[in-house]
Amino acid sequence: MKKVCYLLGFLPSCWLAASAQQDTFADRWKYVGIAVEETGYMIWGTSPVIGDDGKVHLFVARWPCEQKVDPGWRSHSEIAHYVGQKPEGPFEFSDVAITGTGEDTWDRYGAHNPAVHKIGNSYVLLYIGHTDYHQPPHPSNQCIGMAVSESPYGPWKRVGKNGKILAPPENEKYWNHKAGNGVNNPALLQHPDGGFFLYFKSEEAKMGLAVAEQVVGPYVQLPFPVTANEQRIEDGYAFMYQGKFALLTTDNHGIIEAGGGLLWISDDGIHFRDYMQGFKRINDYTNVDMSKVAVHYGPENRSYAKFERPQVLMIDNKPSYLYVPSGTNIYGGDCTVSYVLKMR
């Protein structure tokens, strides 16, 4: 079927039709429940790593509920550390790993959307930040930073001079020169042949790529986007899957299903053209009475609840758990929470 699609000249839509006839990656997730809920705090990006102590460590974007989702994530977000004995939780607060500096730095405000990895003997924590949460200049002032530690409990040291590892390119020929949303939402992959791939969202909500020999950089951005989307996607998580490069992103406007996710597949990690459904709406995994939920972000009258910022826990090099926040608290709480699903 895929070969026929190529011959007919409309691979993505045709390939999706073929894929729809069999179970997808999205069908294999099973809802477990809440991963992180913290009284008084909005909870967002939830990135997992298994520590040397055998525990599961979650690095979570959070900010006071009274700030609302927006502008709270821009003005007050910090990256907090939660610890659980097993991937399903429960998870308890441990410490705050990264905050905005509050000083005249690139990350003065809004330490947000963490992505944590164990690389060698070190823990690597990526995040986004900006100089000013007012609009404008936000969101064009968003950049990506990195901090490292010998322990998930810290202390965390920003790499290089001030932690910044990627900013919008100065070369006017690059696809995201003067990008209206800067560079944000990092996804790090240790390349199987050596070096590191850093994926990110930028202009027109496409995914870009920067590469480095060492995890701390320097990172050199490619001059073109790597995903072939015309509709908005974001929040990629990068991993190797069945010998190929994979990016798990949101599907905000219905490339397959609005409010679900996409699993992009690539042979080289540079050109992502093929995709299947990566996850579905919350309603497809558990019973949700939309008349009783609390909508903290997104349309009040939407008929479904959607996951955001997917982050994967890999166990034995296989995607095993999915951690996802949502602007909708399906249990009706005063703040957002993050949820956890298990791969069947």
pLDDT in tens, 205-218: 999 999 999 999 99
Q: In what order do the strands lie in the sheet with 91-98?
A: 41-50, 56-64, 78-84, 91-98
**Mean pLDDT confidence for 151-175:** 98
**Mean pLDDT confidence for 46-65:** 98
Statement: residue 11 has pLDDT above 50: no
Closest to 200 (Cα-Cα) out of 158, 175, 234, 240:
234
**Mean pLDDT confidence for 235-257:** 97
**Mean pLDDT confidence for 109-126:** 98
Q: Where are the beta strands (DSSP E) in 225-344?
A: 237-241, 244-251, 260-266, 274-279, 294-295, 311-315, 318-325, 328-329, 338-343
Q: Which domains does the chain have, with CATH numbers?
A: 20-343 (2.115.10.20)
- The confidence band for 202, taking pLDDT boundaries of 50, 70 and 90, is very high
pLDDT in tens, 318-340: 999 999 999 999 999 999 999 99
